[in-house]
Each structure stands twice: as structure tokens, then as C-alpha cells.
Structure 1
């Protein structure tokens, strides 16, 4: 176990010390942003066990919480509930606790947005504190010799959307996290087949719609769900490698060519 304190918060890291040399360091800006850096180092590759970084926040003027997977449910959680998980293909490691006026009380984010991590902010009723945590290496992983990550904590009294925007900017400075370039076509009107066809589409029908959409100013089409299956139940466990269902699009190459002749770019929808 290791403890380190800054800005009135004490951070505790448990686990990992039996296999790795673990070090923690803190930086706090004049504006109130805390960055806690953790480093793991071993003399040989080892499979890490579960590690957890924890700290507390008093339940004062906290009205709701948010993270990318909350959808419409922004209620406050309790400490015995599960946290939310983030990885490269699902959600993102950031959580916000905010006040009634939408003011940020605490935004915390983790630099590792690729590997599975679990974040949590739950009320411990006996002490009226949020127990906040970031849990690492719960899933089986390959042996590693080193690992480094940073916890970002923002307690500035600003609109919480601004603290989230700063997290996005912070992530975008990291190698490999730079925002992808946006093609010019993506900034122009686009036709999506879902709203006309749902899963019941055909190459001929899509091409007719493209002709009309192009005349109205659309520069691209996204062929949505249905091109890969005859099923209309919207299930995806059986999709495998997402092969074209020839009962709807007999010749994908020819279909794409015809859309290009109309003057539109062509995209296919996938469920990740």
C-alpha cells in the first residue's frame, strides 16, 4: 500500500507491490488541477494483479454524476455498487460529480483509455464521503515489465462541460490519442439509409435514394444496418466477420461503383 497527499486529498494505491516497484508522484496546478502519476517497473515481464487507486470527496453540493455510459441516468451511486468499465472499444475513463447549477465539483479521468479500467464514485453513507476509485488489471493481461499512467482530477468551480472539454484536450496531447483527421466530406450533408429502410434495404433502392439525395446536396451515403444479414431482429452476435448478405447486395463492388458514378462517397456501418 502506498499513500500520497495533495490539495486536501489522500490517494491510496493497493496491490502490485509484490511484483513491481511502484512509485507515485503528484503535481498540482495553481488553478486546482491535480495530476497523480503512477509507475510500475519490474526486472522481468510479469502478469500484473488487480490494483486500485482510491481517494475521498465530501458529499457537499453534489447533485448528480456523469460518465460516458450513463445515458440518461445521472443519479448518485453508493459505494457498494459496481463502478463502470472503460476500454478502447467502450466508453472512456472519465467521471464527473457536479452541483445543482451544473458546476463541477470533481472531474476525474485516467490517461489509459485503451486498456480495461473501472472507475467509481459511490457514497459511503456512514461518513458522507464519495469513495472514488480507479481499478486496474482486473482482466487477464499479457506480462509487462513497465506501466505508466496518470490520474487527472479537476475540482475547479466551473461548468462541468468545461472540465470535460479540458479532459478531452489533455487526452489529445498523448501519443496515439491525437484526434483523427476529419475528411472534408464528413462536414457536408450526408444521407443515411437507416431512417428510410432500417434493416430492410437493397442495392437498387439505395442507389435510387442516392440519386435524389445528391440532387438535394448530399455528398455521401452511409449504408446502415442490414447490409450484412437477412435477419431483422437487430442482433449482432452472429455477424462474424461482417460479410455482405448477397440477398440484398449481390455485387458490392458494382453497387459502390454505381454510387460513385452518382457523385457520392460510400460508407458502411459496423457495430463495434
Structure 2
């Protein structure tokens, strides 16, 4: 976009306690005194409705910048909810890695808490929206590595509005002579999906990102052992049995989750032996042959790892025990300090050795969000063998080392990260990003995958899908259908599934595969985010897929010739309100197991009601 105007403000360090600026419709204040740095502020209008605030710091000699707070008020005009970081409370010590609710409701100001973001924790942005899916403000910070905090709260005083704060340098970074950061304000009256997609392109440009290449297999259905077998049931025979059935229903990659490593003992504590990453020869008498056996079925083979933690009972612990950040109290393990080159070297070499020795195709990399300045001690010493000052920079380096080393061995290496380490900076070192653990939770899996999609250039995967073996096929099918805009990972024990469940999976995965490209790479519009999404439309070339998650009136933008309509609701009908004439389509309506219900001609113009079963699909002929 063309820059329309530039206004520059220069302030000497002696007078940088608080300054005010006009940025588009916003009156901002920048607060924070720093005697070591001069501060330059530029305000740019990039396009109508899009402004940038650039803050530049410069010093005579290296120093750690002092905290800076940017404050402003957003008028409460046609704003009903927002999308933001998942709520890692920057004020408190963490109690649980997963205890971060999905952000939708804006809290009152006196109860608002800053959300922490960093290279390993979410993304520094928030999008304020109305209930018609329209962007009101998409706010973002260009900084993707060092910690940033974002806070929003509704304030009924002095005119109803929202108090918004952005915090920089509230957590340890590193000594520097200069620094530059931009804050983007997008107030365009456009669909919020487009505003977020533009934001991702902005991050890519500002940080000169080169996203990891995506092998074709990353787009195809997966099977994951986690919910099906857990750790106790993990062995060569059980994996091979699941792999055979997984291939038959349409999966093309298997992820062997936790439990494959030597000396695993749940009674000793979770992750007690992490760090050695050696094959358990009791469970796998000939691991390389086992991998070959699975690959001969036509499946790629991935292993779960957690490079962030070293277990207290591992052999490497004695060597590295003085190179840790802190104890993970919920596990019998310590979180590594990646600022030590020995730590990065050991972890990279172990994963590379696993890949070389066993010819595996990639890794599911877990728990990297444990490494950041929020979890680590507040005073992080430099020196004593550390070659990085910033924990975040060192962690990015570790993940870069692992990815590049694995890619040398296998150019099509498959690397999966999960929420919350989804930052665009990390999209350079992984090609798949998965929703955080939410077994048998349709609402959360749907919401987290769709939330991630607009702000991620890589492939979005659902959390592995599991359900009670006595569930009806129609309701079990909703686990898959509600996450249809992400790559499915099946994780139910296929040996215990009824014939109807297997038939359902085979049929629906076949439909998913036929629309794979549009579902994972098409232009998506996800509607009703304030209600954790009501329906989605995604189009690419001559194909369109429409997925209804909740009973609602569907108002399509496109209905291409090759059409897939999914009823992922509990209702036996769908209602369309077509503002333009999409023509007459010859359609076939199926139940979730592939039984043809009927064929008919449907004219998609005006109000159209289609009777179809729960978990049913429509295909055009």
C-alpha cells in the first residue's frame, strides 16, 4: 500500500516521560522514561483507514531499554467482541500451561489484565469486531520475538469506550544500541477475515520472514496415537495395527506420540526421562524395521518430542543440570535454557540422530511455549557460557537449528508445532500448526483451528479427534466435520470402532480429500466469531465448500460449480439466503456414511431451505 503521509517527532531521552500523538482517529500517549535512549516517533498514514506508529530507540552505548507503555482509547461504536491473545496473564505466575480461555468478551477496565505474547507465546495483535463480521480495529505490533503485552478493558467513564494498552520491554530482552518497532492500526470497514490476512502479510514484510516449505503430505489426513493408545498402549504391534486401519480409512501420515522413548515410566513422573530420546527396545525390538513396516503401508512416520524439557532421571541431566531455566513443577523435568550452545547442540543432534538412524519423516514438537521470559526467572543472567542474552532469541535459534538440520536429511521433513507457539516468526521452522489439546471438544477444536487460520501461512491441523466408541456415527462425525477447514488427525482406537464408525470415517475423509486443496488453501470467510463461529465458506478456483457449525442463515459470497455443503449441526436442514442468483445446481445428498438420500435440482436464489440429515453432505453432480 502506498504511504500517504509521514509525520516525524523526535524527543531527547531527558524528556521522554510521556508524549501524546494523533494517529488517525486515535489520541495516543507513549509513557516511559529512559535515560540511556533517544526516542524518535514517526506517524504514517499507509492507506485510508490504515496507520502506523513507528518508535525508534538509539543509544551511545549498549543498554537494556526501560519499559514503554502505549495507551489510547477506542470509542465503543458498533463493537461487540474481539479476537486476541488467548489470555496468558502477564501479571501472575503460570498455574497451568493450558489454562488459557478463548478470548471473546472484552472485560471491564478495572478487571482487565495484560496478555503476554512472545516468540513462543501467541501473536501480538487483537481484532475488534461487530456481530456482522466487520473489522472495527485490527491492532498489531511488529515485534515477534521479544515479549509484548496487550490489554483491553471497557471503561464507562468519560464517554463509553475501551482502554487499550501496549507494553514493550516489560520483560527481559537484551542490551542494544538501537531498536525499532511499528504498531499498525487498521480501522477499515471490511470483513475481519481480510483485515487479519492483510496483517499476516504485514508481519511477513516487516520481519522479512521466509516461511517453511510445505510438503504435500502435510495437507493430507493424519492418524495420531495419543488419545487412542496413550503411553501405556504404545508398542510396535499396536501401532502397526492402527496404521493398517488408518491407511484403509484414508490417512497418509502417522504420529507416534509420547511413550516410544526408553525408560518411560509413568510412576516416576511425567517427562522424567526426557532428553535422552532413546528408543524403548522393550516396546520396539527393531524400531527401524517397525518404521519401514508402517511406511510400506504408504504412511509417513513422525515421532513426538519435547525438546524444551530435560527429565531428572535422564542420563543427560547430570551434564546439563546447571543449564536450566526453571523446574516444571507439574513434571519430573526441568525447562532448558537454550542460551547455552551445549543445550541447543545436544537437542538438535538427538533429533537429527533419530531421523538418520530410523529414517523417520518428521517430528511433532511439543511444549516449546514453556520457554519464554514470562515463565523464566525475572532476572536472567548473561555469561557463564551463554552465547545469547535473550531467551526468546535463543529459542528461535534452537528451532531454526532443528528445522534446518532435519531439512538437510529430508527436504520434505514434516514438523508440527501447536498452540500457543504459533507466532509468524516460528512459521519459518514448521509446516504444520495444531490446535492445543481439546479431546472430544467440538466447540474448542473448531474455534481454535479457525482462529489460527487467518494468522498462519502454514497448514492448520485439528487437535487429534477422539470420541466414545458407543457414540452414534452421526454425532461422532461432528468431531471431524466441525474441523473440516483444518487437516484432520484421527486418534480414536480404530480396533474398537464399529463398522459404521469406520464406514463414516472412510466416506467423510474421501470427501475431505477431494476438497483438500480448497479446504486447506482456499480463501476462507469464517462467520460468527463472537459465537465461536457459526459457518464458514472457502473457495479456490472452481470449488467452494460451505460448512455450517450452528443453526444459522447462510449468506454465501461464492457458490462455484464444484460445491461441497456440510451440515455439521444437530438440525436436519440448512437455510440459505442468496443475495444473488447462483443458478441451479444438480445435487446429491448423502448421510455421514455415504448413503445416498436423494438427488434433486436446487436453485440457489433468495431464501432456500434444504432438508438433509445431521452430519450429512451435499455434492454437486
Q: TM-score band (shorter)?
A: 0.7 to 0.9
Whether 2:271 is the aligned partner of 1:271: answer no
Aligned pairs, how many?
Answer: 271
Gap change, CA 1:44 and 1:250, over 3 Å in 2: farther
Distance in structure 2 (CA, Å) of the matches to 1:187 and 1:132: 38
**SS at structure 2 position matched to 1:145:** strand
- 1:97 is displaced (CA, Å) by 1.3
Match of 1:77 in 2: 107
Match of 1:201 in 2: 234
Q: Write 1 or 2 for the structure with the bigger share of helix.
A: 2
Match of 1:186 in 2: 218
Whether 2:79 is the aligned partner of 1:62: answer yes
Match of 1:144 in 2: 176
- 1:250 is displaced (CA, Å) by 5.7
| TM-score normalised over the length of structure 1 | 0.88
- 1:64 is displaced (CA, Å) by 0.9
Match of 2:277 in 1: 243
Match of 2:137 in 1: 106
Report which of the two structures shows the higher radius of gyration computed on alpha carbons.
Answer: 2
Distance in structure 1 (CA, Å) of the matches to 2:300 and 2:75: 53
| Structure 2 gap ranges (5+) | 1-17, 88-100, 304-363, 368-621
Gap change, CA 1:88 and 1:248, over 3 Å in 2: farther
- 1:183 is displaced (CA, Å) by 0.9
- 1:67-108 deviation digits (Å, cap 9, x = unpaired): 141554411122232121111111111101111222211110
Distance in structure 1 (CA, Å) of the matches to 2:270 and 2:185: 37
- 1:28-57 deviation digits (Å, cap 9, x = unpaired): 133211111111111111012211111111
Q: Which has the higher contact order (CA 8 A, sep 6+)?
A: 1
**SS at structure 2 position matched to 1:97:** strand
- 1:195 is displaced (CA, Å) by 4.2
Distance in structure 2 (CA, Å) of the matches to 1:72 and 1:203: 38
- 2:67 corresponds to which of 42, 50, 54: 50
- 2:155 corresponds to which of 121, 124, 130: 124
**SS at structure 2 position matched to 1:75:** coil
- 1:106-127 deviation digits (Å, cap 9, x = unpaired): 1101111111110112122212
Gap change, CA 1:230 and 1:113, over 3 Å in 2: same
- 1:265 is displaced (CA, Å) by 1.7
| TM-score normalised over the length of structure 2 | 0.41
Distance in structure 2 (CA, Å) of the matches to 1:236 and 1:155: 47
Match of 2:200 in 1: 168
Gap change, CA 1:6 and 1:221, over 3 Å in 2: same
Distance in structure 1 (CA, Å) of the matches to 2:170 and 2:253: 42
Q: Write 1 or 2 for the structure with the bigger share of strand.
A: 1
- 1:174 is displaced (CA, Å) by 3.4
Gap change, CA 1:242 and 1:182, over 3 Å in 2: farther
Gap change, CA 1:176 and 1:253, over 3 Å in 2: farther
Distance in structure 1 (CA, Å) of the matches to 2:24 and 2:244: 61
Tell me, yes or no, if the aligned pair for 1:16 and 1:22 is still in contact at 8 Å: no
**SS at structure 2 position matched to 1:24:** strand
Tell me, yes or no, if the aligned pair for 1:225 and 1:270 is still in contact at 8 Å: no
Gap change, CA 1:196 and 1:155, over 3 Å in 2: same
- 2:52 corresponds to which of 29, 35, 58: 35
- 1:20 is displaced (CA, Å) by 0.8
- 1:136-170 deviation digits (Å, cap 9, x = unpaired): 11112221111111101111112222211111121
Distance in structure 1 (CA, Å) of the matches to 2:176 and 2:166: 19
- 1:212-254 deviation digits (Å, cap 9, x = unpaired): 333444322112244354439xx86756437356254465544
Distance in structure 1 (CA, Å) of the matches to 2:56 and 2:287: 49
Match of 2:96 in 1: none
**SS at structure 2 position matched to 1:2:** strand
